């Protein structure tokens, strides 16, 4: 009976989630400064590196450079940043296994933005026409504060538009992963992608959903092998419960 009560309570307290991403707006890498000083800049140079510049409270300056040639996947890049201890990092709308080279939009960020928890973060975005990608992470928490155990997300609909090189039978994919570590990635569904046409996907005639396991989040994505033009978007709709 306890398990039934938990399930019913979780369902009753469910929150609707809508995550919308457009060209060069999907978040590849989210960082939060955890040092005792200040941040000068967080800079991405496409196909080269991520550079974090900060100064400790005692005025010791740090320039931390992470070359994509040394950290070829987002997982390796995140782990290297976390190991240095001045920033903490996580992937958001990409997978840890995705290649980092050519994937991040060139930009220099000098002012932090704020996530849904009100924490200051530095978001490096996906370069859509470099990664040939648009995607969105459906999660109860895209920041760094822990959520209670036992929650899941359910994907109820996908809306997208992508002018890509070639539509493919498995071009539209849904992955699940551990919500705390962003690891343990697994493909849970794949669909035919549609080129240059606004497309909506629902499940079970609009009555069904794709559900994660407990303590997981879902990443919805279209990725092409050769090209993706500007004007792409992805909207993932669902519930967190």
The two tokens of residue 197 are: 């046409």
* Whole-model pTM over 0.85: yes
Helix (H, G, I), strand (E, B) or coil at 104: strand
**Cβ neighbours of residue 107 under 8 Å, at least 6 residues apart?**
43, 44, 124, 125
Contacts of 35 (CB under 8 A, 6+ apart): 54, 56, 85, 86, 87
CA distance 213 to 217: 8
Burial of residue 137 (number of CB atoms within 10 Å: 0-12, 13-18, 19+)? buried
* Secondary structure class of 200 (helix, strand, coil): strand
User: pLDDT 10s per residue in the chain (241 long)?
Assistant: 456 555 544 554 569 999 999 999 999 999 999 999 999 999 999 999 999 999 999 999 999 999 999 999 999 999 999 999 999 999 999 999 999 999 999 999 999 999 989 999 999 999 999 999 999 999 999 999 887 889 999 999 999 999 999 999 999 999 999 999 999 999 999 999 999 999 999 998 888 999 999 999 999 999 999 999 999 999 999 999 9
Place of tokens 């004007």: 231
């Amino acid at each position: 009976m306890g398990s039934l009560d938990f399930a019913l309570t979780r369902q009753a307290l469910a929150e609707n989630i809508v995550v919308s991403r457009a060209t060069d707006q999907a978040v590849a890498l989210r960082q939060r400064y955890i040092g005792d000083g200040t941040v000068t800049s967080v800079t991405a140079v496409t196909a080269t590196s991520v550079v974090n510049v900060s100064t400790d409270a005692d005025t010791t300056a740090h320039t931390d450079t992470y070359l994509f040639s040394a950290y070829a996947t987002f997982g390796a890049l995140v782990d290297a940043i976390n190991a240095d201890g001045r920033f903490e990092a996580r992937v958001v709308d990409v997978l840890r296994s995705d290649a980092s080279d050519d994937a991040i939009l060139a930009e220099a960020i000098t002012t932090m933005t704020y996530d849904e928890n009100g924490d200051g973060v530095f978001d490096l975005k996906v370069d859509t026409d470099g990664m040939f990608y648009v995607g969105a992470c459906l999660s109860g928490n895209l920041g760094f504060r822990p959520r209670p155990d036992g929650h899941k997300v359910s994907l109820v609909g996908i809306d997208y538009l992508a002018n890509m090189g070639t539509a493919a039978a498995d071009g539209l994919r849904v992955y699940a992963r551990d919500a705390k570590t962003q690891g343990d990635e697994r493909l849970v569904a794949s669909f035919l992608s549609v080129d240059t046409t606004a497309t909506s996907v629902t499940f079970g005639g609009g009555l069904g959903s794709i559900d994660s396991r407990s303590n997981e989040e879902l990443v919805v994505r279209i990725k092409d092998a050769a090209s993706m033009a500007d004007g792409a978007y992805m909207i993932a709709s669902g519930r967190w419960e």
